[in-house]
């Protein structure tokens, strides 16, 4: 704990936790209310209870920190929910919609509290009024309870409200109960508000004084609660300690009464009410302390989990990364080819193999810690679709699949905005109004599909719709209007579709207030690329469009192919590699103004020489007879990268160059090889737009320390997409400055604007 006196610091820490929990609770609330909204007639008491508890928790925490505005509103909210779950207020669609709106206000208040902002006192006043009205309109004592009961599992006996029942409660807290801040006395106090309570402690579990742990619980209690508030109220008193105790609640008429407390195992199922006690005595109640209780009944599906600081997880991931590097260093030491020593010791070899295996498993487990289901992102979408469809007067339904697919946490956070943007686009531009759809013979209800799945080591997320598809004429028109492409250029359908990803293309003529950020598809693509992913688009006019995002499973580790270019080593992401070719001279062609291309099974693929792009001397000069690695780019195209050698495939730990080093175009990150040297990881999408140095004038002299003097000359005219990157401008300018210093003259092409250069 902190060395400072308790008080402000600790409070801040608890506040942090409270806000995190609020975030989760609000998220859960939204999901539950969404479900309810879809199906209000089938609401069960359980559903309403869960919703009530969420609001109740928020209220409780808010009270502890003194967020009065939040408490007041939560209280009104909670009162209505109470009325609903008691059956006083009917669960109607209108009611549920008010609840959803109330959740929004709750969200606002929580955020205001978090940021210490002040919301006007009457914020959400109409919602409050609506909630109060609904509560007041309740028909009174359980009038609608029958509806709830009818939907209920027959498991739980609904007790009649007015009748006084005596409940026998056996309560045995787990040893660690107090460490959660729970105190049985508080529970008993709450029980006393329900009615009369008789409490009998059982001290049989107390150990001898010398083995007594002062912070653990050894007591158990038998209580007799006489109340008219029903079993649910009694259960509720124990709600916060459900996981940490053995608890059996029975109506006193049940024959289970004489069961000995001692025999209740801490791991007893908590929600059971009617379960008959086992015939044989249960195992002794001195079960080892913090044992997690057995799986609860299906109405509480959450697995036990602990909250961990993300920094700690990151540190763990880092350490495992270092372990992988060290382990590959060890491997190298015994790898004869790499200059290691041949070991004749079979035990050592076996040991190393086992180490390999264990390290790989450890790595997978650690990576899995950061994985979360995409559900948390997907769950915000249905609401977006509903609201937007209503606003645009279109009929749209969202179909999601694969919500349980897991993705790294950082990826999830970055996914939300792009997804929302794409869905908004879909509804705005893609999907037609109902009349138009009818005329086209399509069903009035349009469908937007959102799916996620694992495929070949990556996550594939698709957003597709059955609307009009991309209006290619309009897109081309807009692109030429904005000067992004010359008017006379001929583009294939796919190329036109990809124009929407150009920076500067985004319209933002009407900024929708749903997200209001006015981001364009270029930002979406950039965000996805930054995550190491790719986004492609497929569109059929009149039938619909499909955006496919492919993202890596983890951000920390990469399956790579190490290649050699001259004396330097680089790493290519393995998943991008299609194949490696050793082309014959007849397959290599030179295209005027474009550099070299390779003909591969009828297609022409541009060739990139790493030696030229990165000014590496003494590297392969010709593609013909050399090694060309064919890779897939983010925009669906392919290029061939000329390398000297393929050094082997290995898992590499991704180390960022930033913030220490500047960003380099064509390099996405770095890694540390088994020999301790740094190798650069290629950003293949950035490679094509780099200028190629003319290596024919290079000299490698001692003075220059191994970095040859080069004279830059552009051998490739910028293709449309390339010229858009500011990166290339910077490179060109920098080279110009360098050369100006050396007194070398530059071709005039450099001084032109990109569009002019492209047009030539």
Partner 1 sequence: MDQQISAQQKNSVNGPSAQVADPTAGYDGERPIHSGETAQYISFTIGNEEYGVDIMAVREIKGWTNTTPLPNTPDYMVGVLNLRGVIVPVFDLRCRFNEGRTKATDKHVFIIVAVGDRTIGILVDAVSDILTVSANEILAVPSADRAIDDVFLTGLVTVKNRMVALLELEHLFDPQSVPEVDGSDVEALN
Give the footprint of partner 1 on this chain (CB under 8 A): 318, 322, 325, 568, 613-616, 655-657, 659-667, 670, 672, 676-680, 690, 702-707, 724, 726, 729-731, 733-734, 737-738, 741, 754
Give the per-residue SS3 of 295-335. Answer: CCCCCCCCCCCCCCCHHHHHHHHHHHHHHHHHHHHHHHHCC
Instruction: Give the closest residue to 610 by CA, choosing from 679, 699, 534.
Output: 679
Report CA-CA distances (Å) from 648 to 560, 580, 683.
8, 13, 18
Q: Which is nearer to partner 1, 161 or 338 (CB)?
A: 338
Q: Which is nearer to partner 1, 265 or 502 (CB)?
A: 502
The least CB distance from residue 608 to partner 1, in Å, is 13
The least CB distance from residue 638 to partner 1, in Å, is 22
Confirm if 245 and 177 have CB atoms less than 8 A apart: yes
The least CB distance from residue 318 to partner 1, in Å, is 8
The least CB distance from residue 659 to partner 1, in Å, is 5
Cα torsion angle, 98, 102, 105, 111, sign = negative
Phi then psi for 152, rounded to 5 degrees? -80, 155
Task: Count the Cβ atoms, other than its own, within 10 Å of residue 715.
Answer: 16
Determine the Cα angle at 679 with ends 673 and 680, to 5°.
145
The least CB distance from residue 627 to partner 1, in Å, is 19
Confirm if 269 and 297 have CB atoms less than 8 A apart: yes
Q: Which is nearer to partner 1, 584 or 701 (CB)?
A: 701
Q: Which is nearer to partner 1, 568 or 694 (CB)?
A: 568
Q: Which is nearer to partner 1, 115 or 658 (CB)?
A: 658
Rounded to an integer, what distance in angstroms lies between the CA atom of residue 483 and that of residue 499? Answer: 12
Determine the Cα angle at 138 with ends 134 and 91, to 5°.
70
Rounded to an integer, what distance in angstroms lies between the CA atom of residue 678 and that of residue 655? Answer: 10
Q: Which is nearer to partner 1, 469 or 566 (CB)?
A: 566
Which residues, other chains included, contact 341 with Cβ-Cβ below 8 Å and sequence gap of 6+? 333, 334
- Tell me how far the alpha carbon of residue 607 is from its chain's centroid: 36
The least CB distance from residue 104 to partner 1, in Å, is 38
- Tell me how far the alpha carbon of residue 59 is from its chain's centroid: 28
Q: Which is nearer to partner 1, 219 or 667 (CB)?
A: 667
The least CB distance from residue 423 to partner 1, in Å, is 30
Q: Which is nearer to partner 1, 241 or 679 (CB)?
A: 679
Q: Which is nearer to partner 1, 630 or 680 (CB)?
A: 680
The least CB distance from residue 641 to partner 1, in Å, is 14
| Maximum CA extent, the chain | 102
Rounded to an integer, what distance in angstroms lies between the CA atom of residue 502 and that of residue 505? Answer: 6
The least CB distance from residue 446 to partner 1, in Å, is 38
């Amino acid at each position: 704990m902190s060395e400072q006196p308790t008080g402000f610091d600790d409070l801040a820490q608890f506040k942090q936790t409270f806000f995190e929990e609020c975030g989760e609770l609000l998220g859960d609330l939204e999901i539950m209310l969404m479900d309810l909204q879809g199906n209000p007639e089938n609401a069960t008491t359980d559903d309403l209870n869960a919703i009530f508890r969420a609001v109740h928790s928020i209220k409780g925490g808010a009270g502890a920190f003194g967020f009065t505005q939040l408490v007041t509103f939560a209280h009104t909210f909670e009162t209505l929910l109470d009325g609903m779950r008691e059956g006083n207020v009917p669960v109607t669609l209108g009611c549920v919609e008010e609840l959803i709106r109330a959740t929004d206000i709750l969200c606002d208040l929580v955020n205001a509290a978090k940021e210490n902002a002040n919301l006007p006192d009457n914020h959400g006043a109409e919602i409050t009024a609506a909630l109060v009205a609904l509560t007041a309109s309740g028909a009174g004592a359980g009038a609608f309870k029958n509806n709830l009961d009818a939907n209920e599992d027959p498991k739980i006996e609904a007790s009649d409200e007015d009748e006084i029942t005596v409940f026998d409660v056996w309560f045995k807290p787990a040893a660690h109960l107090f460490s959660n801040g729970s105190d049985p006395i508080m529970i008993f106090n709450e029980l006393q508000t329900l009615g009369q309570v008789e409490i009998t402690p059982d001290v049989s579990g107390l150990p001898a004084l010398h083995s007594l742990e002062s912070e653990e619980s050894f007591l158990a209690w038998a209580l007799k609660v006489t109340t008219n508030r029903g079993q649910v109220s009694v259960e509720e008193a124990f709600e916060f300690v459900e996981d940490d105790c053995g608890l059996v609640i029975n109506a006193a008429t049940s024959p289970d009464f004489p069961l000995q407390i001692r025999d209740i195992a801490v791991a007893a199922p908590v929600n059971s009410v009617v379960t008959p006690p086992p015939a044989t005595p249960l195992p002794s109640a001195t079960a080892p302390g913090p044992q997690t209780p057995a799986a609860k009944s299906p109405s509480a599906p959450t697995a036990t989990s602990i909250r961990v600081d993300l920094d700690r997880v990151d540190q763990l991931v880092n350490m495992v990364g270092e372990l992988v590097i060290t382990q590959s260093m060890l491997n190298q030491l015994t790898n004869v080819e790499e200059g290691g020593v041949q070991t004749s010791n079979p035990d050592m070899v076996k040991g190393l193999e086992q180490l390999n295996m264990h390290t790989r498993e450890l790595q997978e487990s650690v990576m899995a810690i950061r994985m979360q289901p995409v559900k948390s992102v997907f769950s915000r979408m249905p609401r977006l679709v509903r609201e937007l469809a209503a606003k645009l007067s279109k009929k749209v339904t969202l179909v999601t699949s694969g919500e349980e697919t897991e993705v790294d946490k950082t990826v999830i956070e970055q996914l939300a905005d792009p997804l929302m943007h794409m869905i908004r686009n879909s509804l705005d531009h893609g999907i037609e109004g109902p009349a138009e759809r009818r005329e086209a013979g399509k069903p009035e209800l349009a469908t937007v599909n959102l799916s996620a799945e694992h495929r070949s080591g990556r996550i594939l997320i698709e957003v597709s719709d059955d609307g009009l598809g991309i209006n290619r004429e309009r897109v081309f028109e807009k692109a030429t209007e904005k000067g992004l492409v010359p008017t006379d250029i001929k583009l294939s359908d796919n190329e036109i579709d990809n124009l929407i990803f150009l920076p500067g293309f985004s319209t933002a003529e009407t900024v929708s207030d749903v997200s209001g950020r006015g981001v364009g598809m270029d930002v979406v693509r950039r965000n996805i690329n930054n995550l190491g992913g790719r986004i492609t688009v497929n569109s059929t006019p009149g039938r619909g469009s499909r955006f496919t995002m492919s993202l890596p499973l983890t951000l920390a580790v990469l399956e790579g192919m190490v290649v050699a270019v001259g004396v330097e080593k680089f790493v290519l992401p393995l998943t991008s590699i299609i194949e490696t070719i050793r082309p014959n001279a007849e397959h290599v062609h030179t295209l005027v103004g474009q550099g070299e291309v390779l003909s591969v099974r009828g297609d022409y693929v541009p060739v990139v020489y790493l030696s030229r792009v990165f000014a590496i001397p003494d590297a392969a000069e010709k593609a013909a007879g050399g090694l060309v690695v064919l890779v897939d780019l983010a925009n669906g195209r392919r290029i061939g990268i000329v390398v000297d050698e393929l050094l082997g495939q290995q898992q590499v730990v991704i180390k960022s160059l930033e913030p220490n080093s500047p960003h380099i175009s064509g390099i996405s990150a770095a890694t540390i090889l088994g020999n301790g040297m740094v190798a650069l990881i290629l950003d293949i999408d950035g490679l094509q737009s780099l200028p190629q140095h003319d290596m024919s004038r290079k000299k490698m002299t001692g003075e220059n320390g191994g970095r040859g003097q080069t004279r830059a000359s552009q051998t490739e005219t910028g293709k449309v997409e390339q010229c858009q990157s500011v990166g290339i401008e910077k490179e060109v300018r920098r080279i110009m400055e360098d050369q100006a210093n050396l007194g070398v003259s530059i071709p005039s092409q450099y001084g032109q604007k990109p569009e002019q250069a492209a047009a030539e």
